[in-house]
Amino acid sequence: MSFDYDLFVIGGGSGGVRAARVAAGETGAKVALAEEDRYGGTCVIRGCVPKKLMVFASEFSGMVGDAQAFGWDIQPGAFNWDTFHGKLVAELDRLEGVYRNILKNNGVESFDQRAHLVDAHTVELADGTRKTAKHILIATGGRPVVPEFPGSDLAITSNEVFHLDKLPDSILIVGGGYIASEFAGIMNGLGVKTTQFYRGAQILRGFDDEARGLVCEEMRQNGIDVRLGTNVLEMTKEGDQIRVKATDGTEDRFEVVMYATGRAPNADNLGLEALGVERGRKGEIVVDAYSQTAVPSIYAIGDVTDRVNLTPVAIREGMAFVETVFKGNPTPVDHELIPTAIFTQPEMGTVGLGEEEAAAQEPIEVYATTFKPMQKSFAGGTQRVLMKLLVSKATRKVLGCHIVAPGAGEMIQLAGIAIKMGATKEDFDRTVAVHPVMAEELVTMRQPVRTA
Ligand SMILES: Cc1cc2nc3c(=O)[nH]c(=O)nc-3n(C[C@H](O)[C@H](O)[C@H](O)COP(=O)(O)OP(=O)(O)OC[C@H]3O[C@@H](n4cnc5c(N)ncnc54)[C@H](O)[C@@H]3O)c2cc1C
């Protein structure tokens, strides 16, 4: 049977673009890709990239005070949203162009429209055109969802926050995950009066308790009103403000309310059910270790499969798919020991198990230290950082590393290599410290602070 293409990719985000370009560029496969919105997907257009640029923008406010303490005669000025936003839009346009060109230069034919499946080898584009392919890869990502409650339509999500008409005077951010907590830091740093509601007992659920506790404490020190155990009951529009009734009995007004309480996979209306492609509890596409669905010619990668929803993971899954299907080298995706950064202020870098998870698995030693970093301490700041290692008593392997500190994301990338290689506590100890840096504590902690 002959097909129009060897591979048809639905979705031009992190995973889809990588899979399409590697399949076409490295194996000579005939590849097409459909993207209904903008090339680059969530990460480039409305996720990692614009967010990190906003983190950078927001961090300058704290630097002025530090510079003054170091003797600089400078005064804080005002942040100009229009200036920043104009540059942001231009940068995203540039990056979208880069992604389009990557596809073009690798011989991938792209269609700027929505696609859905008709049968195991056929996709239909929004204009009604049908294309056949030997393999179909679904890489449609995910989207933010706002729960339904009175006034919920007044909320914005991470999709809109990058393109506000103006910076608000006040914002309520609802949610306790990394996106909510990062935007609380961003808005606070940009000078917006920031409140964060989270219905649970502590933000950043799923991460090491001590690390997330310190992040929350420091966020409060920075001026964010983090209200734990609190949720929104209803919202009403009052002039240019939104009145928010909360479960803790309070009523406050905010100019903007941003919800970051969850995301859903983009797997609806793709025609999956009729084909027998299995979906999970959250609606995600169920795949095996090779990203293959229940229909052999259909694969799915990235956030639409809701495994580990991070850009480098979607990219890995795309590469493993090409390796498996087009290079004859069956490659399961390795989701173990993924280092990751949370760009809160302070930043958190983490790899492996948290203390609670590690202790539940086996007896461990906990090595941890908190201290005031040199630069902040000299400037008279009260900020503290955390360096923490969790070590298996039986094997001496480092099971988890958690860093709360400026630059923690950069540090954890490197610590992640050692830990992925199976480094023991003694391997860390044998490594000579770099001095004077914060991360030297990772190789100089001699005594466990506790066992568990
Ligand atoms: C605010 C925010 C911050 C983030 N920060 C980080 C971070 O710091 N680090 C990190 O690693 N990850 C981060 N992420 C997560 C990261 O963006 C995602 O994990 C990643 O983008 C997933 O890639 P993907 O290829 O699965 O999907 P996406 O990048 O979402 O791409 C899917 C694409 O498919 C298109 N599409 C959907 N349906 C169709 C259809 N039927 N037909 C045609 N096209 C379709 C969409 O328009 C989209 O362009 C962040 C996410 C958000 C929301």
* Residue pLDDT, tens place only, 24-38: 999 999 999 999 999
State yes or no: pLDDT of 221 exceeds 90. Answer: yes
Q: How many CB atoms lie within 10 A of CB 394?
A: 9
Give tens-digit pLDDT for 403-450. 999 999 999 999 999 999 999 999 999 999 999 999 999 999 999 999
Confidence at 1, pLDDT banded by 50, 70, 90: confident
Tokens of 121: 């080898």
Tell me how far apart the alpha carbons of residues 30 and 96 are, in angstroms, rounded to a whole number. 22
The verdict on whether omega for the bond into residue 150 sits within 30 degrees of 0, i.e. cis, is no
* Ligand 1 mean position, distance from CA 267 (Å): 13
Compute how many other C-beta atoms are within 10 angstroms of the C-beta atom of residue 84: 17
Q: Which of 53, 52, 47 shows the shortest CA–CA distance to 15?
A: 47
Sign of torsion over alpha carbons 116, 119, 121, 125:
negative
Mean pLDDT of 322-337: 97
Cβ atoms 19, 301 nearer than 8 A = yes
Q: What is the mean pLDDT of the chain?
A: 97
Q: Report which protein residue has its CA nearest ligand 1's atom 8.
A: 48
- In order, the DSSP letters of 105-139 are HTT-EEE-S-EEEEETTEEEETTS-EEEEEEEEE-
For ligand 1, atom 37, which residue shows the shortest CA distance? 140
Kindly tell me if the per-residue pLDDT of 213 is higher than 90.
yes
Half-sphere exposure of residue 231: CA atoms within 13 angstroms, side-chain side? 11
Q: Give dist(CA 411, CA 320) in Å, integer.
A: 26
Q: Single out the residue of 20, 100, 62 nearest to residue 222, CA to CA.
A: 62
Question: Within 13 Å of residue 65, how many CA atoms lie on the same side as its CB?
Answer: 12
- The pLDDT tens digits of the residues spanning 22-72 come to 999 999 999 999 999 999 999 999 999 999 999 999 999 999 999 999 999
The alpha carbon of 78 and the centre of ligand 1 are apart by a number of angstroms equal to 33
* Angle value at C-alpha 175, between 171 and 181, nearest 5 degrees: 70
Q: How far is 197 from 253, CA to CA, in rounded Å?
A: 14
Per-residue pLDDT tens digits for 234-269: 999 999 999 999 999 999 999 999 999 999 999 999
d(CA 204, CA 178): 6
Return the SS3 of 365: strand
What 8-state DSSP symbol labels residue 202?
A: S
Closest Cα to atom 53 of ligand 1:
47
Local confidence band at 76 (pLDDT 50, 70, 90 cut-offs): confident
Query: Cβ distance 166 to 79 under 8 Å?
Result: no
Share of the chain above pLDDT 70, in %: 100
| pLDDT tens-digit series, residues 374-387 | 999 999 999 999 99
Backbone φ and ψ of 336, nearest 5°: -85, 145
Query: Residues enclosing ligand 1, CB less than 6 A?
Result: 10-16, 34-37, 41-43, 47-48, 51, 114-116, 139-142, 158, 179, 266, 270, 302-304, 309-312, 314
How many residues comprise the chain? 452
- The two beta strands, 251-254 and 398-404, are unpaired
